[in-house]
Each structure stands twice: as C-alpha cells, then as structure tokens.
C-alpha cells in the first residue's frame, strides 16, 4: 500500500485528488496539508511514501517545505505540482531532491503512472529540465576533478542503474547483490560524490554522461 500526503492550499483540488487516488486499491491518502508548514509536520510525523507538493502555498511554500522535509527525512519522495512546465520554483525543488514534477492539468492516467514510477524509484524529469540542471551543476563545478573517478567499477554500475530508475531491489537482482549491500554501496556513493539523494545521483550520472537523459514524453 502506497501512503500519500497531499499538500495544496486549494481544498477542492485536494478533494479531487483524494477521490481519484483512493479509488486505486494500492493507494491510501494518509494526510492533507493546506500549506507548507502542515506538510512538513505531517511528513515528519507520519513518513508517507509519496508527497504531492504544490509549489505555491501560503507561509512556507512548496520549495521551502521540500527542503525542510528532505533535510530531516531524506527518504521522502516528493513530486512537485505546478501549473507551468517552466516554473523556476520546480527547478529549485528538483535540485533540492524532489523526484520530479507533474503539471496540474495532467490527466488521471498520467498522475497514477507518475506516482507508481516514483514509488518504484524513478525520477520524473523531461529532457529540457534535466539539461537545465545538468548545465547548472557544470557551471558550479567548473574544472574541478570528477569525484566519480574515486568510485569502484561496481559503484559506477549502481550509479548508472539509479539514473535509469532502478529500485534497490532491481539493482540487487541485476548485479546479483543483496539489497543491504546495494543500500550500503549507495550510501558510500552519496558520500563520495557529496550528494544527498537519488535525484541528485541520477542527475550527476546524466551530467557526467554515465546515463542517457530521459526522453520528453
């Protein structure tokens, strides 16, 4: 059962999402938040599997809430909800570790598929967004040595699979490892590359050409 937190300041929109999601046998809406502060409190208390986070909310907005949640609980899988594909706030949220974004005018099938993909470990980014973030990383790194040169061959394989959306279980099967070993190796990879989460790891692999950019659907 995938437990989902809804964070949006429009009650009717939340109600519509809740009705849609709870019609699915494998989804349960475990909480609702009308602003970023409520989202932060619910997330840190209940640890939902997925957080659908509106960008624009009063008080603590979606980007700030995402940053605070991931700082305290980096396992959170946040999907940003936005009206516009080119929303600069989405860019900042994804850099902070959100698993991607979904347009508010997406149809029901897109929404359900997006949640299931993120729950399975994927990152929801179109090619244009990925390229923006890759270029941002490049501009900040400059000519600094590439830290992935310090990774073992096995760690590079794991990093590539993370970028391709593989879950820990799927990586373990693909490489004939235990899930515990995969988790430990991922922790080592994050530490070596100075990353905080799978989103950043996937984008790092894209930036360095270790994996292909996702296609814009």
Rg (C-alpha) for the chain, rounded Å, is 17
Does 170 lie in the same domain as 117? no
Does 40 lie in the same domain as 73? yes
The number of domains in the chain is 2
Residue 8 sits in a domain of what CATH number?
3.40.50.2300
pLDDT for 36 equals: 95
Does 16 lie in the same domain as 117? yes
pLDDT (tens digit, 9 = 90+) per residue, 50-74?
Answer: 999 999 898 899 999 999 998 888 7
pLDDT for 131 equals: 72
Place of tokens 């989804």: 27
Note whether residue 217 is domain-resident: no
pTM for this predicted structure: 0.76
pLDDT for 24 equals: 96
Question: 33 is written with which tokens?
Answer: 């938040």
pLDDT for 146 equals: 63
Contacts of 99 (CB under 8 A, 6+ apart): 77, 78, 79, 118, 122, 123, 124, 198, 199
pLDDT for 138 equals: 64
Place of tokens 């029901």: 108
Contacts of 8 (CB under 8 A, 6+ apart): 14, 17, 33, 34, 52, 54, 57, 81
Does 119 lie in the same domain as 147? no
Nearest Cα to Cα of residue 54 among 36, 40, 37: 36
Domain hosting 167: range is 143-207
Does 164 lie in the same domain as 109? no
Does 86 lie in the same domain as 193? no
Does 117 lie in the same domain as 89? yes
pLDDT for 217 equals: 43
- Domain boundary (76, 91, 124) is at 124
Question: 202 is written with which tokens?
Answer: 């996937």
pLDDT for 140 equals: 62
> What is the residue-averaged pLDDT of the chain?
86
DSSP string, 58-77: SSS-HHHHHHHHHHH-TT-E
Low-confidence ranges of the chain (pLDDT < 70): 86, 127, 134, 137-147, 212-217
| CB of 56 closer than 8 Å to CB of 88 | no
Note whether residue 212 is domain-resident: no
Does 51 lie in the same domain as 97? yes
Note whether residue 134 is domain-resident: no
Does 110 lie in the same domain as 195? no
């Amino acid at each position: 059962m995938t437990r989902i937190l809804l964070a949006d300041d429009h009650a009717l929109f939340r109600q519509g999402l809740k009705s849609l999601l709870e019609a699915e046998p494998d989804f349960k809406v475990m909480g609702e938040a009308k602003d970023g502060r409520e989202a932060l409190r619910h997330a840190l208390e209940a640890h939902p599997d997925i957080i659908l986070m509106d960008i624009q909310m009063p008080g603590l907005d979606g980007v700030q809430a995402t940053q605070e949640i991931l700082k305290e609980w980096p396992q959170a899988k946040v999907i940003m909800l936005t009206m516009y594909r080119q929303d600069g706030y989405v860019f900042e949220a994804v850099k902070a570790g959100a698993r991607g974004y979904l347009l508010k005018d997406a149809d029901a099938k897109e929404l359900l598929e997006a949640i299931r993909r993120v729950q399975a470990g994927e990152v929801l980014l179109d090619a244009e967004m990925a390229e923006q973030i890759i270029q941002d990383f490049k501009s900040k790194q400059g000519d600094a040595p590439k830290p992935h040169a310090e990774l073992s061959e096995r760690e590079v394989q794991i990093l590539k699979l993370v970028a391709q959306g593989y879950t820990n279980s799927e990586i373990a099967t693909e490489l004939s490892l235990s899930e515990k070993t995969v988790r430990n190796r991922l922790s080592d990879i994050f530490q070596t590359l100075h990353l905080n989460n799978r989103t950043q790891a996937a984008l790092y692999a894209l930036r360095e050409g270790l994996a292909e950019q996702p296609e814009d659907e």
